[in-house]
Structure 1
Amino acid sequence: MIITRGLIKKYGRVMALQGLDLEVPEGSVYGFIGQNGAGKTTTLRILSGLLIPEEGSAEVAGRDVLRDPRGIREVVGYMPDFFGVYDDLRVGEYLLFYAAAYGIKGETARKLRDDLLELVELGHKRDAFVDTLSRGMQQRLCLARSLIHDPQVLLLDEPASGLDPLARVEMREILRELCRLGKTIVISSHILSELADLCTHVGMIREGRLLRQGPLSDMLAGDRVRKFILRCNGTVEAAAEIIEGWPGAGILSSAINQVEFQLSGGSDDVAALLREIVGSQVQVVHFAQTEQSLEDTFIQLAREVNGV
């Protein structure tokens, strides 16, 4: 659904994107993750036709961003991180205004307004003024605005920014419903934990370069550094000494009878280390791999890029 090749974007001397290649499958929820300033917003603005790159190409739903900007606006719904709302409009009027901007008027626009307000759970606020809405409600209203022309692709820049925990849950449920309706959704965020249970695919960007992308399950798997917890009947001193001297291993934390460590390599390396510990007469009562998180994967990849 989205393909970019060699995107380069500069702001003066600052290189925001350095040859970015993205591939977003149709119908996916693509988590575009990275630190603040990594180039996420710049990328979304290019894909929505708001910025022009110095080099490279980008297509959304078969439409070229540079050659067919009007076509891009027809297939893309863009929700920026910081948005403007017309405070002196009522919620329903706000959506009708944007519907008219897309040439949707009359009964069609009114039905669309009501359907979208129902989707984002703001039907009861149709006659309220926009400036009376909470931050979370305003976010949902702007999501409804981005859906007004029924786009194939949604580009959401930090949609949960500034929301309280309940509002974040509500936003997540709305996005799940949109996914079930067949939308392709790109969500940029630096809060990686919020994307782990929502996204089907992930792309990790750092300093304008794509570190890695693919299905979420693949990103969290593989023979990269993994974390383990080992508990003993007694102190873990002997086990900790073995782990410290093991190639590719490193202790992350330890207590009297428990040690958490990381280990690179495959299953054979894990089995060999465990045999060594048990063979040294350490009474192991628990040994398990902890779940790899998106934060862990991102930090690993960033270290590899820096040669750490």
Structure 2
Amino acid sequence: MNFANPSGHVPRPAIDVRSLRVDYGDFIAVNDLSLSVPPGEVFGLVGPNGAGKTSTFRVLTTLMEPTYGDVFLDGIDIQEDIASARRIVGYMPDLAPVPSDMKVWEFLDFHAAAYGIGNKAQRRERLAECLEEVALTPQRDKWCKELSRGQTQRVVLAKTLLHRPRVLVLDEPASGLDPLARRDLRNALRRLAKNGATVFVSSHILSELAEMCTSICVMNLGKLLASGTVDEVRQQLGNTERTITAAVLGKAEDAASWLSSRHGVHELQVVGQEIVFGFKGTDDDQADLMEGLISNGVRLRAFEERRSSFEDILVEVAESNRRL
């Protein structure tokens, strides 16, 4: 992918991982991972359990050393200058706890003081900014134990934002959230990226990442399988399967007879004046299919596709684990 800006200058990657490997004894958790994430991206890391996502995040956030490989955050070598790396990274682990006996503002103020954020007035101002960023200003004086699961996740995100990190690493931030809470979280991450932060987020909920992220990568058994936009990942994984519904005027059986002999068409069914079939091929192949129908005198009222969902892709990846 070419992330050059209109001036032709390619910005320095916000996250640059080179040949990363993480071993636990004889077990290889991350195997020769290389990826580059430009500034201002919401970049998704997806894969089944055991793919190596959390180990990758622990290295990126300086919580563990890699077996070998290099990681740079905004040009900073995290092994050579760990203090500078920690100043620019914010980490939100999966299911991060909050103390039940503190109010929301007290929890955030405690962490703001730990970050060394100014005096009391300056911390109060920064707390207000972070609460506004995650849409939790009305909950400022609530006890943490009174928060819903979604509100708790957003409080932890607010805490992660306190020191204005340029790189955000979020491990399963949408885990256990209801649809409304996931929407609020998604909107918050988009705003952060729009304001210049780089968000690196993992999830096993692929549909969430498809809506949230500008690009994604897929890991399995410690290895990078694909990286890029949604469509690029589908192509790289060889997943060009789609379901097509052709609504015709006239006899659907005649059109179905022609379609059944075309390469890539399978599982064809006629339902009234609609023909539903599976199709595997390129976008050009699909265009040829539609053009062929019209050339053969078929009057099309609609020609709609439904591509394999990201959940379908994840299932295929996970099933491949069982065959290994």
Q: TM-score, normalised by structure 1?
A: 0.85
Post-superposition offset of 1:298: 5.7
Residue of structure 1 in register with 2:98 after alignment: 85
Residue of structure 1 in register with 2:281 after alignment: 264
Residue of structure 2 in register with 1:122 after alignment: 136
- Residue 267 of structure 2 is aligned with which of 251, 276, 298? 251
Equivalent residues in 2 for 1:34-73, closer than 5 Å: 34-73=47-86
Query: Separation in 2 of the partners of 1:303 and 1:241?
Result: 34
Instruction: Indicate if the aligned counterparts of 1:16 and 1:207 stay in contact, CA closer than 8 A.
Output: yes
Post-superposition offset of 1:135: 0.8
Post-superposition offset of 1:144: 0.7
Provide the secondary structure at the position in 2 that maps to 1:88.
coil
Query: Separation in 2 of the partners of 1:252 and 1:211?
Result: 31
Query: Separation in 2 of the partners of 1:4 and 1:152?
Result: 16
Q: Percent identity?
A: 39
Residue of structure 1 in register with 2:198 after alignment: 184
Instruction: Indicate if the aligned counterparts of 2:264 and 2:280 stay in contact, CA closer than 8 A.
Output: yes
Query: Separation in 2 of the partners of 1:181 and 1:271?
Result: 39
Instruction: Indicate if the aligned counterparts of 2:220 and 2:317 stay in contact, CA closer than 8 A.
Output: no
Residue of structure 2 in register with 1:132 after alignment: 146
Post-superposition offset of 1:77: 0.4
Provide the secondary structure at the position in 2 that maps to 1:140.
helix
Instruction: Indicate if the aligned counterparts of 2:170 and 2:200 stay in contact, CA closer than 8 A.
Output: yes
Provide the secondary structure at the position in 1 that maps to 2:48.
coil
The residue identity in structure 2 corresponding to 1:251 is E
Equivalent residues in 2 for 1:136-285, closer than 5 Å: 136-216=150-230, 218-219=232-233, 225-227=240-242, 228-233=244-249, 239-240=255-256, 242-251=258-267, 255-256=271-272, 257-267=274-284, 269-274=285-290, 277=293, 284-285=300-301
Query: Separation in 2 of the partners of 1:273 and 1:303?
Result: 31
Provide the secondary structure at the position in 2 that maps to 1:30.
strand
Provide the secondary structure at the position in 2 that maps to 1:18.
strand
The residue identity in structure 1 corresponding to 2:200 is V
Alpha carbons of 1:282 and 1:30: their partners in 2 closer, same or farther (altered >3 Å)? same
Post-superposition offset of 1:72: 1.7
The residue identity in structure 2 corresponding to 1:261 is G
Instruction: Indicate if the aligned counterparts of 1:211 and 1:302 stay in contact, CA closer than 8 A.
Output: no
Post-superposition offset of 1:305: 11
Provide the secondary structure at the position in 1 that maps to 2:32.
strand
Deviations for 1:220-241, whole angstroms, at most 9, x for unmatched residues?
Answer: 6799625222234577556556
Instruction: Indicate if the aligned counterparts of 2:234 and 2:240 stay in contact, CA closer than 8 A.
Output: no
The residue identity in structure 1 corresponding to 2:76 is R
- Identify the range of structure 1 (155-164 vs 222-231) with the bigger mean alpha-carbon deviation: 222-231
Query: Separation in 2 of the partners of 1:250 and 1:37?
Result: 34
Query: Separation in 2 of the partners of 1:184 and 1:177?
Result: 11
Residue of structure 1 in register with 2:33 after alignment: 20
* Runs of 5+ unmatched residues, structure 1: none
Deviations for 1:198-254, whole angstroms, at most 9, x for unmatched residues?
Answer: 211211222221121124464467996252222345775565565454333333766
Instruction: Indicate if the aligned counterparts of 1:211 and 1:301 stay in contact, CA closer than 8 A.
Output: no
- Identify the range of structure 1 (203-212 vs 292-301) with the bigger mean alpha-carbon deviation: 292-301
Query: Separation in 2 of the partners of 1:121 and 1:273?
Result: 48
Alpha carbons of 1:266 and 1:196: their partners in 2 closer, same or farther (altered >3 Å)? closer
Query: Separation in 2 of the partners of 1:20 and 1:243?
Result: 43
Query: Separation in 1 of the partners of 2:247 and 2:303?
Result: 7
Instruction: Indicate if the aligned counterparts of 1:219 and 1:297 stay in contact, CA closer than 8 A.
Output: no
Instruction: Indicate if the aligned counterparts of 2:99 and 2:144 stay in contact, CA closer than 8 A.
Output: yes
Q: TM-score, normalised by structure 2?
A: 0.81
Provide the secondary structure at the position in 2 that maps to 1:270.
helix
The residue identity in structure 2 corresponding to 1:214 is G
Query: Separation in 1 of the partners of 2:321 and 2:292?
Result: 32
* Runs of 5+ unmatched residues, structure 2: 1-13
- Identify the range of structure 1 (296-305 vs 182-191) with the bigger mean alpha-carbon deviation: 296-305
